């Protein structure tokens, strides 16, 4: 955005360009001042730049498998005091991610070439009489905390209009 304003500022002026873009003229001027005078950069940005170099170095030295927690611990071992949330934020900004142990869970693998079933109710799940509409749903996930951690269909629920619902319609 700044380069666009720089290219067109002579023809249109900074304020008129900023009025059309989602940026305040003061932001543009501050950005230019920071490029000329690096001491105007806020302390957090300066520290983030320094930490980003260290975070990238540690991540690369450890075969790009360290996550935020291990990078944070290594920084503390090297006497670089930093909050873990800061390491998480900077790793996200740098696009760095640790390796996840185990398999990733894939609950559904859709087949795009498969023919979809016909929607017989046009997504209108309302019935005017008993036994007119029945809907079934598979809930796919962990059955419970106590059972072995295996993914699978854990619940089949069927619903429809029952006799007790007749009274509600009248």
Mean pLDDT of the chain: 83
* Best CA proximity match to 67, nearest among 93, 92, 50: 92
DSSP structure string for 74-132? HHHHTT----HHHHHHHHHHHT--PPPPSPPP------TTSPPPP-TTTT----SSTTS
Instruction: Give me 77's structure tokens.
Output: 């071992």
Bridge partners, 136 (sequence order): 158
* Spatial separation of the C-alpha atoms in residues 159 and 136, rounded to whole Å: 7
pLDDT tens by residue, 78-133:
999 999 999 999 999 999 999 988 877 766 777 888 888 788 778 777 888 888 88
Convert the pLDDT of each residue in 96-108 to its tens digit: 999 988 877 766 7
The whole-model pTM stands at 0.56
């Amino acid at each position: 955005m700044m380069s666009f304003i720089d290219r067109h500022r002579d023809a249109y002026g900074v304020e008129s360009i900023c009025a059309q873009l989602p940026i305040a003229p003061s932001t543009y001027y501050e950005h230019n001042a920071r490029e000329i005078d690096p001491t105007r950069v806020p302390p957090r940005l300066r520290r983030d730049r320094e930490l980003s170099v260290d975070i990238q170095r540690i991540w690369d030295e450890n075969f790009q498998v360290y996550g935020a927690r291990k990078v944070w611990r290594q920084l503390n071992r090297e006497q670089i005091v930093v909050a873990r949330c800061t390491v998480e934020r900077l790793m996200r900004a740098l696009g760095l991610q640790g390796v996840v142990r185990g398999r990733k869970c894939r609950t559904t693998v859709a087949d795009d070439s498969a023919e979809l079933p016909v929607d017989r109710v046009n997504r209108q799940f309302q019935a005017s009489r008993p036994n007119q509409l029945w809907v079934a749903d598979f809930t796919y996930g962990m059955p419970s905390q106590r059972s072995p951690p295996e993914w699978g269909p854990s619940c089949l629920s069927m619903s429809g209009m029952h006799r007790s619902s007749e009274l509600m319609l009248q």
